Amino acid sequence: MKKFLATLLALVMLMALAAPALAEDTPTVTYYVRGGTAQYEPYIYPGLVGLLKIQQMAGVNIDWTVVCGNNDEIQAQYLAMLASGNYPDIIQWQHNNSYVGGVSQLYADGIIIELNDVIDKYMPNYKALLEANPHVAKTLMDSEGRYLYFTVINPLNSNLEKVAVTWWGLMMRQDWLDNVGMEAPTTIDEWYDVLVAFKEGDPNGNGEMDELPFDAGSAGHLLFMPAFGIQNGVYIDPVTGKVGYGQYTQAYKAYLETMHKWYAEGLLCNVFADETGAPAASADPNLYADLAGSWKGLSNYWEQRLPQVLEKNPNADFVAVQWPQYVNGSGEFYADRYGMGYGDRYSAVISVDCENVEAAARLIDQMYTEEGTNCTTWGTIEGDPINPEWTSGHGTYTIDENGVKHETEWANLMTENFYDGAFANKYRYAMSHVSFPRWGAADYLAATREENYVNSAMMWAEASNALEYPNAIVLSTDAQAAVADIENIGTYINEMTYKFITGQEPLTNFDVYMDTLQKMGMDELVALYQAAYDEFMNRGN
pLDDT tens readout for residues 76-135: 999 999 999 999 999 999 998 899 889 999 999 999 999 999 999 999 999 999 999 998
Q: So what's the pLDDT on residue 59? A: 97
Q: So what's the pLDDT on residue 449? A: 81
The beta-carbon contacts of 2-10 under 8 Å, at least 24 apart in sequence, are 4/39, 4/40, 4/417, 4/420, 5/39, 5/40, 5/43, 7/417, 8/40, 8/43, 8/44, 8/417, 8/418, 9/43
Q: So what's the pLDDT on residue 391? A: 53
H or E, element range at 155: none
Given a contact cutoff of 8 angstroms between Cβ atoms, the answer to whether 340 and 136 are in contact is no
| C-alpha count within 13 angstroms, C-beta hemisphere, residue 476 | 14
**380/211: higher pLDDT:** 211
Q: Span 324-353, mean pLDDT?
A: 92
DSSP state of 398: E
Distances (CA, A) of 51 to 31, 60, 216, 374: 12, 11, 44, 10
Can you give the pTM of this predicted structure?
Answer: 0.85
Contacts of 284 (CB under 8 A, 6+ apart): 217, 305
Q: Span 134-140, mean pLDDT?
A: 92
Domain 2-158+342-447, CATH = 3.40.190.10
pLDDT digits (tens, 9 = 90+) for 480-509: 888 888 878 999 999 999 999 999 999 999
Distances (CA, A) of 276 to 228, 280, 291: 24, 11, 26
CATH for 168-337, options being 2.40.128.20, 3.10.580.10, 2.40.50.140, 3.40.190.10:
3.40.190.10
Contacts of 116 (CB under 8 A, 6+ apart): 145, 146, 147
Q: How far apart are CA 493 and CA 248, in angstroms?
A: 9
Given a contact cutoff of 8 angstroms between Cβ atoms, the answer to whether 272 and 538 are in contact is no
Q: So what's the pLDDT on residue 200? A: 97
Map out the domains of the chain as residue ranges.
Answer: 2-158+342-447, 168-337
Three-class secondary structure of residue 292 per DSSP: strand
Q: So what's the pLDDT on residue 431? A: 52
H or E, element range at 463: none
Same fold, 2-158+342-447 and 168-337: yes
